[in-house]
């Protein structure tokens, strides 16, 4: 047997080799562990991304489901709208009447009789019929015709020439009257679809459709001594003979009475007007109960504030109603409301008095002009009620309490 002697150098060499092998092995383990940790981290990241994608897919699915639901609802609404006029007509057709009035006209050659036709609707089961005042103004005989052509002679219960509303009454004990339901005109929106039913040019029971073009219009008419406030502007076709007929929403509720058109030729030009149902209800109920309607009144006149007036009076914005004149002894006079004091000529040549109070609110409701004041008075207040006017006086905002009076006749 051969013996191998390593000596001290050999031992050191073996130890070094052994240490190197151990270090390499340890380093390999570390590298493997690091790689495993890296892979684990990458897997965690991928898992998180997958989880996020799953959540996103769920959200997307919910959104698509909601979109599909909304689309289905929209289709239902459209289908309802398509058939709504037909359903409404069936609901109201027996309650819309034709009114024929024989009026006296005085001419150069003396008195003559002139027939007038209009529309109206059944208000209650007691036989009250609502129409426009200008349809029966000066009439010596009024007849009410139902769709079945049955005729009833009517008596005038009362009328209001300012708001163009009249109430008739017929004795119709031989038939079942079907009153129409009044809606809340304060809930109307621009763009809302509406239906007009009446008798244009004598064509009985004519239905037209359209939308509400605007709200709160102020309009002067020949029958009124002052503007009619808060009118509903519509684009549904109405013509002579429609006056007094109901304006309906798609539920068949009366939201107004058609009473006027704006036209340069006398023919319908896409602009019609209706008296809002909230005013109609207030006036008609008063006429049925007392035979008349007393208008709330505070006794002022003036002009809507425009940019030129706002500049002259150092107002922050061109809004409100400038009081020029206060009637002596009126509610406004008793409350201390001030009229104009300084005469100026505007750029359009109009002379006005500035320096008076500027009304910018009534009972907390913003006032942009006279129309807002008249609309609030007619819809919300009665003679004897107290109201709070917000005014600007000498550059300062203040509040004034006013006891509403009755419009002098």
User: If we measure between CA atoms, which residue out of 143, 131, 107, 158 comes closest to residue 289?
Assistant: 158
164 noted as active-site residue: yes
Q: Of 223, 243, 281, 330, which is the active-site residue?
A: 243
Dihedral angle computed from the Cα positions of residues 198, 201, 202 and 207, in that order, rounded to the nearest 10 degrees = -30
For residues 103 and 166, give the distance between their C-alpha atoms in angstroms, rounded to a whole number: 15
134 noted as active-site residue: yes
Q: Of 95, 119, 128, 134, which is the active-site residue?
A: 134
Q: Which long-range contacts (CB under 8 A, 24 or more apart) does 314-319 make?
A: 314/395, 315/358, 315/392, 319/360, 319/366, 319/367, 319/368, 319/369
Structure tokens belonging to residue 40: 């684990």
DSSP 8-class letter at 124? S
55 noted as active-site residue: no
For residues 68 and 60, give the distance between their C-alpha atoms in angstroms, rounded to a whole number: 12
- For every residue of 356-379, DSSP letters joined together read S-EEEEETTEE--SHHHHHHHHHH
For residues 328 and 196, give the distance between their C-alpha atoms in angstroms, rounded to a whole number: 44
User: If we measure between CA atoms, which residue out of 256, 228, 230, 225 comes closest to residue 243?
Assistant: 256
Residues annotated as catalytic are 134, 164, 243
């Amino acid at each position: 047997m051969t013996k191998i002697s390593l000596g001290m150098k050999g031992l050191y060499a073996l130890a070094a080799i052994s240490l190197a092998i151990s270090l390499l092995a340890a380093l390999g383990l570390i590298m493997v562990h690091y790689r495993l940790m890296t892979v684990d981290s990458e897997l965690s990241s991928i898992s998180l991304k997958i989880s996020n994608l799953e959540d996103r897919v769920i959200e997307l699915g919910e959104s698509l489901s909601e979109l599909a639901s909304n689309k289905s609802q929209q289709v239902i609404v459209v289908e309802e709208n398509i058939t709504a006029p037909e359903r409404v007509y069936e609901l109201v057709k027996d309650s819309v009447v034709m009114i024929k009035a024989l009026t006296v006209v005085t001419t150069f050659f003396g008195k003559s009789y002139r027939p007038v036709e209009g529309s109206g609707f059944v208000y209650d089961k007691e036989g009250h019929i609502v129409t426009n005042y200008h349809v029966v103004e000066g009439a010596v005989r009024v007849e009410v015709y139902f769709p079945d052509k049955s005729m009833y002679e009517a008596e005038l219960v009362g009328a209001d020439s300012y708001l163009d509303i009249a109430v008739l009454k017929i004795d119709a004990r031989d038939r079942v009257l079907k009153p129409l339901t009044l809606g809340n005109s304060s809930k109307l929106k621009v763009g809302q679809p509406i239906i007009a039913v009446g008798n244009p040019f004598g064509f009985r029971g004519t239905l037209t459709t359209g939308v509400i073009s605007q709200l709160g219009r102020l309009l002067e008419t020949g029958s009124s001594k002052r503007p009619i406030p808060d009118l509903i502007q519509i684009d549904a076709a109405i013509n002579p003979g429609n006056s007094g007929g109901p304006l309906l929403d798609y539920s068949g509720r009366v939201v107004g009475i058609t009473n006027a058109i704006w036209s340069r030729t006398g023919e319908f030009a896409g602009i019609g007007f209706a008296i809002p149902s909230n005013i109609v209800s207030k006036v008609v109920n008063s006429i049925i109960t007392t035979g008349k309607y007393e208008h709330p009144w505070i006794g002022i006149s003036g002009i809507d504030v425009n940019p030129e007036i706002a500049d002259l009076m150092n107002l922050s914005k061109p809004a409100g109603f400038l009081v020029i004149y206060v009637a002596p002894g009126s509610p406004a006079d008793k409350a201390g409301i001030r009229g104009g004091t300084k005469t100026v000529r505007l750029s359009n040549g109009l002379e006005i008095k500035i320096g008076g109070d500027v009304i910018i609110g009534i009972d907390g409701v913003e006032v942009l002009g006279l129309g807002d004041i008249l609309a609030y008075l007619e819809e919300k207040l009665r003679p004897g009620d107290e109201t709070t006017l917000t005014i600007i006086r000498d550059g300062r905002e203040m509040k004034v309490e006013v006891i509403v009076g009755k419009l002098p006749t």
